[in-house]
Chain A
Amino acid sequence: MVTTTKGMWGGVIAKRPIAPTGVLGWLFTIDHKRIGILYGVTAFILFLLGGIEALLIRLQLTSANADIISPELYNQLFTMHGTTMIFMVIMPMSAAFFNFIVPLMIGARDVAFPRLNAFSYWTFLFGAILMNVSFLAGGAPAVGWFAYSPLTSIQFSLGSGVDFWILGLLVLGVASLAAGFNFIVTIVNMRAPGMSMMRLPIFIWMTLVVNFLIILAFPIITVALILLLFDRQFGTTFFEVTSGGDPLLWQHLFWAFGHPEVYILILPAMGIVSEVIPVFSKKPLFGYSTMVLAGILIGFMGWGVWSHHMFTVGLGPTANAAFSLTTMFIAVPTGIKIFNWLGTMWGGSISFTTPMLFAIGFIAMFTIGGMSGVMHAVAPSDFQQSDTYFVVAHIHYVLFGGALFGVFSGIYYWWPKITGKILNEMLGKISFWLFFIGMNLTFFPMHFVGLDGMPRRIYTYSEGMGWDLWNAVSTVGVFVIGLGILVFMQNVWYTRRKGKQAGSDPWDGRTLEWSIPSPPPEYNFVEIPNVDGRDAFWSQKYFEGPDGKPTKIVEENAPIKTHSDDHDIHLPTPSYYPVLVALGVTLIAAGLLSHLFFSVTGGVLTFVSVLGWALEPPTAPADDGDHRAGAY
């Protein structure tokens, strides 16, 4: 049921939802926690989809001359696997944590722009749907997730697959940009009193860096995509050689976005791991300031390395030398991070819970990915490795063993906070080992076949190349990973029904989110906490003696110091408009692919909804904004 009220403009078009329940509650919610859950669930479903694509790719490559899927479909699958995992799985998984955790960690009641936040999610969802509809509408894009020109030109990619890819990414980009601004403003402006920048948890710092990268990198890909769209639809010649265009322009634009994008994918995981390791080592993060600095440095240096993706395109030895050197030196801040995690564990009291196992797995796997990364930085050596399976091994050690292990560490770590119940540890550990063994079985042999000369993106290979054995091993590995995912899903199901209640602070946490009930109430904090140091919640629980030994403060669960502002809790009212604007924007894009009628409809819908949104007050007049007894 929807309780409604008459807003100003909002009331003219539709009555405003005050406290909707059920499906409508999720549709119109602007609560950062619910939006975080929506992000997480959607990204997980897309993770399964991208995983099935990977499974089909591996099946085709199991043995020489296999004939399981056609080359056309194979090329679509590897394009969509990359696009899905990067833009629709790892990024939104990170966004799920940004949404749920950031306000809790900084002691805020919501993000800075709750309705914009809802808009980001719905735009992401609709963009993901639009992109995947291409499978049903005459074929998905088959040009690789990097979509190198001129293969993307109308001459070489006749179908609408590439157009779906362009418009899908443009829509997804809108979602990322809106979220990027939102989280920057949230982190800068919504911190609890006393939480200065150098007291921010590292996860918040990494979130801040990532969102700066997003708002600076996505405009570049947006420009590139629009140039490509114009080339395909309106006959411009930005990348058209015969008319003086340059296909390398695409590569420069794409990687000027694409390399920062790599850090957009990995830095959130580094942030998560930096929260998990201290908690389960019962020690503060080693070298907090250098960790912050290293994260910022990685963010900065990420802008100066893009041409290492282009070592073989013929830029000449001078350019290659310059980009070799800049790339190598990214290993320095990355190394600092790894050493600091080791320093955190050193001398600690380490408990091997599932989140900690994933975090330790992250360190080991990411180190391997980092090492092969330095090998790629050495251009002459990379001339052999570039575009072979060695690179496939490298990116999967970084993105699967790195980013995804970080995400799963975060899932197991924050699950009790999000749902109130702890995921089963036994099943959790089984799934970790299946992931760990499976990923090494899948991706390690790719180093071998790559160095034995197997190029990427080939749908078949002949006998006698010496690649059969390790390809078969890789395929077995994928099934082990798949089993790990099934065990994780079983765990979620089991925990939902029979899971242990978590209480507010199951891990003896160090940061503010553990100071409030699990799951948190809609308003998060009854009173905004007052922060007087790093590890804001830990310092409320433990007293650190002069010898550095902590002593538990006697009163059990001593209440955190709060900042009393003598105000009621005001929360913004749910709204129809975010989902409507998102729908309108997506319809505009979908219309360009089908019939202009939809574009016009989408345009009108967007215009009216934006107007309604602008004129709608944050809190409905009939709503006192106090949802303490609400339906959450």
Chain B
Amino acid sequence: MVRLPSFRSCCIVSLLIGVVLLVACNSSSPQSTFDAAGPVAREQLRLFWVIFWAAMIVFALVMAVLIYSMIRFRRRSVDDLPKQVHGNTALEVVWTVVPIILLIGIGIMTVRTLFALDTPPSSDPLRVEVWAHQWWFEAAYPDYSITTANEIYIPVDRDVSVKLQSTDVLHSFWVPKLAGKTDVVPGRVNKQWFRAEEEGVFYGQCAEFCGTAHALMKFRVIAVSEPEFNLWLDQQRLPVMAPTDLAATGASVFNAKGCIVCHSVGGPDSNEIRESRNAAFFAGQMVSHGPNLTHFGSRDVFAGAILEVNEENLKNWLKDPEGLKPGNRMSSLAGAFNDPALELTKSDIDALVAYLLSLE
């Protein structure tokens, strides 16, 4: 008498819902998880689709039964008293066992993917050390003596092994198109690996709430061809050129107004530098570890990858860092923004900007 909705109609309904969802998700978004550019993100996405469709079918089935019951069994008269059914053991066993079987299948795939993606297949990955700070990411290449910030250059088609450390609170390292996120936990060393299979700029963002400017803690992974990457390495390892003209004035402002206390220029930051600045910060001094500015002029973005490197942005930043990035350490700690004697004049800022842009 009563016919359950057929499996086929459930599939059609779930397909329809699925298509609507697909259209709504936007793979052109720069942080879309649907647009995997490497094996790690692709495997994670593949697993997502498996459970997505499984869930769609179960959902469509539940909704079909629910809506069917609502129509078929609606009350037609006040004295309508249905048969008092208390249960059905066979049916209850079925809807306990079927989900268990389904979940065992998903469970097996989950565990296999977890272990398969745990370590990079290559024995010689590019090593990158990432330090997370409130509110920017620092990247060091231990094999090449390079320290940079907010941008991580990598060659395509090579495994990259990232060592994650935090100098303050929890953060999370996440480049959606390359791999799922890994938290950065103070006192621990976490690892992540990924491989970019196409050239491009991949957006990343801190995904663990880390305080006031959490929303403004972004970074970019820039995947380039092997030769281009080698060129970048060479350029980053060149000694800093002696500044001239206005830039030379900027260099002396940089020292005189105390920028140098937190920012290094002229070489990579060692762990000792990082630790001593951090210890001073925890001891309550007006010091914090700031981005290494050697070759700053070669970068595309700064201030947690929220601003493009250009003269105007840099001037605005040095005029009012708090307005552009609320809560940042520079505006709360740096003498230039807290000590009237060290305040930056307009000509100081012009000179500093010239100096920073000269650091190519």
Contact = CB atoms under 8 A, between A and B. Distances in A.
Interface of A: 70-72, 75, 142-144, 148, 150-151, 155-156, 241-242, 246-248, 281-284, 286-290, 312-314, 316-317, 320-321, 324-325, 328-329, 331-332, 335-336, 338-340, 342-343, 345-352, 360, 363-364, 367-368, 371-372, 374-375, 377-388, 445, 447-448, 451-462, 464-467, 470, 542, 544, 547-552
Interface stretch (B125-133, B208-216, B222-230, B344-352): B208-216
Nearest to A340: B92
A551 B76 CA distance: 18
B6 interface: no
Contacts of B342: none
A549 to B, nearest CB: 6
B185 interface: yes
Question: Which of A346, A347, A470, A550 has the most chain B CB atoms closer than 10 A to its own CB?
Answer: A346
Interface in B39-72: 41, 43-45, 47-48, 51-52, 55, 58-59, 62-63, 65-66, 69-70
B62 A156 contact: no
B90 to A, nearest CB: 11
Given A72-B326, A374-B106, A387-B172, 6 more contacts: A248-B188, A287-B88, A331-B99, A345-B66, A380-B113, A550-B81
A248 B84 contact: no
A143 to B, nearest CB: 8
B100 interface: yes
B26 A284 contact: no
B52 A375 contact: yes
Given A363-B66, A453-B205, A349 B80 contact: yes
Interface in B166-212: 168-170, 172, 174, 176, 179-183, 185-188, 190-191, 203, 205-212
A177 to B, nearest CB: 29
B260 to A, nearest CB: 25
A314 B212 contact: no
B306 interface: yes
A348 to B, nearest CB: 5
Given A283-B84, A350-B73, A335 B95 contact: yes
B81 A386 contact: no
A375 B111 contact: no
Contacts of A549: 81, 83-84
A283 B82 contact: yes
21 contacts: A148-B170, A150-B169, A151-B169, A151-B209, A281-B73, A317-B118, A321-B114, A325-B107, A325-B111, A328-B106, A348-B69, A348-B82, A350-B73, A367-B62, A381-B44, A383-B181, A384-B181, A451-B25, A451-B33, A454-B31, A466-B26
A380 B44 contact: yes
Contacts of B115: 317, 321
Given A150-B170, A381-B47, A384-B44, A364 B21 contact: no
Interface of B: 2, 21, 24-26, 28-34, 41, 43-45, 47-48, 51-52, 55, 58-59, 62-63, 65-66, 69-70, 73-76, 80-88, 91-92, 95-96, 99-100, 103, 106-107, 109-111, 113-115, 117-118, 134, 168-170, 172, 174, 176, 179-183, 185-188, 190-191, 203, 205-216, 282, 306, 326-327
A455 B174 contact: yes
Contacts, number: 300
Contacts of B186: 150, 241, 247
Contacts of B282: 155, 242
Nearest to B54: A374
A282 B59 contact: no
Contacts of A466: 26, 28-30, 32
B74 A451 contact: no
B214 A350 contact: no
B75 A332 contact: no
Nearest to A333: B96
Contacts of A150: 168-170, 186
A290 B88 CA distance: 11
Contacts of A371: 55, 58-59
A536 to B, nearest CB: 15
A375 B66 contact: no
Nearest to B86: A284
A312 B169 CA distance: 15
Contacts of B73: 281, 345-350
A284 B84 contact: yes
A222 B342 CA distance: 47
A314 B185 contact: yes
A384 B33 contact: yes
Given A284-B86, A314-B190, A452-B29, A378 B106 contact: yes
Contacts of A345: 66, 69-70, 73
B326 A241 contact: no
Given A351-B75, A445-B24, A547 B83 contact: yes
A560 B113 CA distance: 60
B181 A387 contact: yes
B327 A447 contact: no
Contacts of A454: 31
Contact of A287 (B2, B81, B92): B92
A544 B347 CA distance: 94
A282 B95 contact: no
Nearest to B27: A452
B185 A313 contact: yes
Contact of A548 (B30, B48, B84, B216): B84
A552 B33 CA distance: 59
Contacts of B25: 448, 451-452
A309 to B, nearest CB: 11
Contacts of A246: 187
Contacts of B58: 371
A149 to B, nearest CB: 8
A280 B217 CA distance: 52
A257 to B, nearest CB: 19
Nearest to B100: A332
Question: Which of A144, A312, A313, A459 has the most chain B CB atoms closer than 10 A to its own CB?
Answer: A312
B180 A384 contact: yes
B322 to A, nearest CB: 11
B57 to A, nearest CB: 10
A383 B179 contact: yes
Contacts of B88: 286-287, 343
Given A248-B188, A349-B81, A384-B176, A148 B209 contact: yes
B86 A288 contact: yes
Contacts of A544: 84
B110 A452 contact: no
Given A329-B103, A375-B55, A320 B32 contact: no
A423 to B, nearest CB: 20
A465 B30 contact: yes
B83 A453 contact: no
Nearest to B48: A381
A212 B73 CA distance: 37
A313 B183 contact: yes
Contacts of A346: 65, 69, 73
B114 A320 contact: yes
A162 B158 CA distance: 45
B207 A375 contact: no
Contacts of B114: 317, 320-321, 324, 379-380
B209 A156 contact: no
Contacts of B80: 282, 349
A453 B87 contact: no
Contacts of B306: 462
Contacts of B32: 451-453, 466
B62 to A, nearest CB: 5
B83 to A, nearest CB: 4
Given A314-B188, A314-B190, A350-B69, A459 B85 contact: no
Nearest to A552: B81
A-B interface, 8 closest residue pairs, ranked by CB to CB distance from nearest: A383-B180, A453-B31, A466-B29, A458-B215, A241-B187, A314-B190, A371-B55, A452-B29
Contacts of B118: 316-317
